Amino acid sequence: MSYEYNFIFDFTEKDTKQHFPITFEVKEGIKEIIIRGSYKPETADRELSRELAKSALKIYLSQGDMPLDVDALSEDVLDRAIKEFIPVRNLINFRIFDPLGNFRGTGDNRISSGIPIKIGETISSFGCVSGKIYPGIWRVIIETHAIINKCLLELKIELNKEEKNVAMPDLANPYKPVWTEYKPKRGWVKGDFHSHTKHSDGSLSIEELVQNAIGRGLDFIFLTDHNKISGWETAREERFPLFPGIEFTTFWGHFTAFGVTKYIEWDKINPDKGIVEISELVHSQGGLFCVAHPFTIGDPVCTGCRCTIDVDWQCVDTLEVWAGTFSQRRHENTETLKLWRNLLSQGYKITGIGSTDIHSLKDLYPDVPMTFVLVEDLTLGNVLNSIKMGRVYVSRGPKVEFSIGNAEIGGSISVSKEPIDLRYSISIESDLKVIYNGYEVNTIRNTKSGDIEFIPEYPGYVYLEFWKNKELIALTNPIFIGN
C-alpha cells in the first residue's frame, strides 16, 4: 500500500536565496520514502545567460595579480570565456528531516535531472541516510539557491509499506573498504582537504575517490560533500585515512569544516549571524573551520560560491589559499593569497591550505595542490592539531623545507637586530620569494636550496613562495616573529 503527497511551487526571481518548509505525515509501518521532483525551466535562455555570465566574469577577472577588464576583451575572447558558464541555471535543492530531527537526505543534482530519491530502511540514494522510517511529521526544506527566471517546481512524495526491490538509479550499495588494515605513517604526509562524491554533486563513489587518492600518492583525504556527512558515515570501515568533513554550501559563501562527525545545519550561516555560531558548533566537535575559495566566480554562475558575507576571522582556523588548478583559477587564488597576507599582518594565525575541490577526474590538472602536514602519526587528531599549529606547506608536488634558526614551519623566533640563517630547499628548481609581513623582501631566481641572512627586527611573520614561469609551485606556512 502506498500514500502520496504532491507539492507545487511557482517561484519567481524574488524567491531566490530563501527556505520554504513543507511537512508530510508518515504513518506506522512505512518502509521507504520516494521523492520525485522536477522544475522548469532549468536554465535561462542564451541571451540572458550571456548577460548574467558576463556580469559575474567582470567581477571575477578584475581581481588577482593579472586583472582583466571584461569590457576591453574582443568578442571572440569574451565568447570563449563565457562559453564555460552558460547556460546559467535555476538552482533548487531540498533537505529532509525525520520526526526526531535527524538529517535524512538531500536532492542535489538528482532533483533537476528527474532522478528519484529514495530513503529506505536498508538502502537509500546517495546523500541519504538509511534506517527506520519513523512515524510522525517529516519536514522538507526547499532551498532556492537561484531563481533566474519564473520557475515551476513539482514534488511528489510516495510512502510505501514495502521496500520495493525495483531498480533505481543512484542507490548507495553497502560500502566496500579499499583498505581493510590501517598502514601507519609519520613525518610529512600529504592529502586533499576538499573532495566531493556521488553523495552530493560529485561523479565518483567514495571507493573510487579513495582509489584515486591512493593512485595520486596521497596519504589521506577529507570527505567534504555539500551540507552532509552521510557519505563518511557509510564508510566508517574504511582503513585508508578517509577523514570526516563537510562543505557548508550557503547562499553567501562556501565554508569547509574538518573533523566533524555530527551533522550541522548549514543555514546557521547567514548575513545576520555571520559564521560565529556555526564555527562554535564545529569547534565543539573538535573540528576546524575553514573559508573555502572566497574569491571564486559568484552569483548566478556559481550561486553562493563566492564569499559575500562579513567574516569574523577570529572564528577561522584555516583558509583555502589555493583552490583547484592554479592556472585556470589564477584570478581567485592570487586574490586569496593577498587576503591571507593581510590577515597574517593583522595578527590572525590562520593556516593556509590547498585543495583540489574535486568533483570528477577531469578536475585533476597537473597544477592542483596537495597539502603537506607534519605529524607524529597519521591520525585525524594529529592532522587537525598540526593544521592548527601551522605545520603545513602547500605544493603541486615538490617537497619543501624552510627554517629560520632552530624554528621550522609553524614555529616562532624572537625579534632580533642580529642576522639569523634562513634556510630553504625545494625539490625542483624554481624562483623563491621571501614574504615578510606582507612584503616580498627577497627574490632568488632558479634556485633549489640555500641560506639567506635574515634580520627579524619587527614582530610578524615570514613565509616562502616558490614560482616557475609565473606559476605558483609551492608555498609554506609562516614562521612567526614575536617580541
In angstroms, the CA 140 to CA 155 distance is 11
SS3 for 72-114 is HCCHHHHHHHHHCCCCCECEEEEEEECCCCCEEEECCHHHHHC
C-alpha cell, 41: 525551466
pLDDT for 274 equals: 96
CA 341 to each of CA 275, 338, 352: distance values in angstroms, whole numbers, following the listed order: 21, 5, 10
Averaged over 437-460, what is the pLDDT? 97
pLDDT digits (tens, 9 = 90+) for 327-345: 999 999 999 999 999 999 9
- The mean-pLDDT minimum among 72-81, 164-173, 299-308 falls in 164-173
Closest CA to 199 of 128, 292, 104, 294: 128
pLDDT for 1 equals: 63
Averaged over 235-245, what is the pLDDT? 97
Quote the distance between the C-alpha of residue 54 and its chain's center.
Answer: 25
- Give the predicted TM-score (pTM) of the model: 0.96
The neighbouring-strand residues paired with 436 are: 439, 462
Instruction: Assign 325 to helix, strand or coil.
Output: coil
In angstroms, the CA 247 to CA 225 distance is 6
Which value, in Å, is the radius of gyration of the alpha carbons in the chain? 24
pLDDT band for position 430 (cuts 50, 70, 90):
very high
Quote the distance between the C-alpha of residue 4 and its chain's center.
Answer: 36
pLDDT digits (tens, 9 = 90+) for 26-67: 999 999 999 999 999 999 999 999 999 999 999 999 999 999
170: left (phi over 0), alpha (psi -120 to 50) or beta: left
Structural domains of the chain, with CATH: 2-42+89-170 (2.60.120.380), 46-83 (no CATH), 187-397 (3.20.20.140)
Residue whose grid cell is 542564451: 46
Averaged over 101-124, what is the pLDDT? 92
pLDDT for 218 equals: 98
Give the phi and the psi of residue 465 in degrees, each rounded to 5.
Answer: -120, 140
> To the nearest whole percent, how much of the chain has pLDDT over 90?
93
pLDDT digits (tens, 9 = 90+) for 466-475: 999 999 999 9
In the predicted structure, residue 109 carries a pLDDT above the cut 90: no
In angstroms, the CA 37 to CA 115 distance is 8
- Output DSSP code: residue 173: P
pLDDT for 414 equals: 97
The neighbouring-strand residues paired with 73 are: none
Identify the burial level of 123 via C-beta atoms within 10 angstroms of its C-beta, where 0-12 means exposed, 13-18 middle and 19 or more buried: middle
pLDDT for 381 equals: 98
- The chain-wide mean pLDDT, for the chain, equals 96
In angstroms, the CA 253 to CA 454 distance is 39
pLDDT band for position 211 (cuts 50, 70, 90):
very high
In angstroms, the CA 366 to CA 396 distance is 7
In the predicted structure, residue 165 carries a pLDDT above the cut 80: no
In angstroms, the CA 208 to CA 197 distance is 9
The DSSP string of 279-315 is HHHHHHTT-EEEE--TTS--TTTTTTTS--S---GGG
Contacts 24+ apart (CB under 8 A), 102-107: 102/129, 102/263, 103/129, 103/228, 103/230, 103/263, 104/128, 104/129, 104/138, 105/129, 105/228, 105/230, 106/200, 106/226, 106/227, 106/228, 107/35, 107/37
Residues in the chain: 483
In angstroms, the CA 427 to CA 414 distance is 29
Averaged over 442-453, what is the pLDDT? 97
- Output DSSP code: residue 14: G
pLDDT for 168 equals: 86
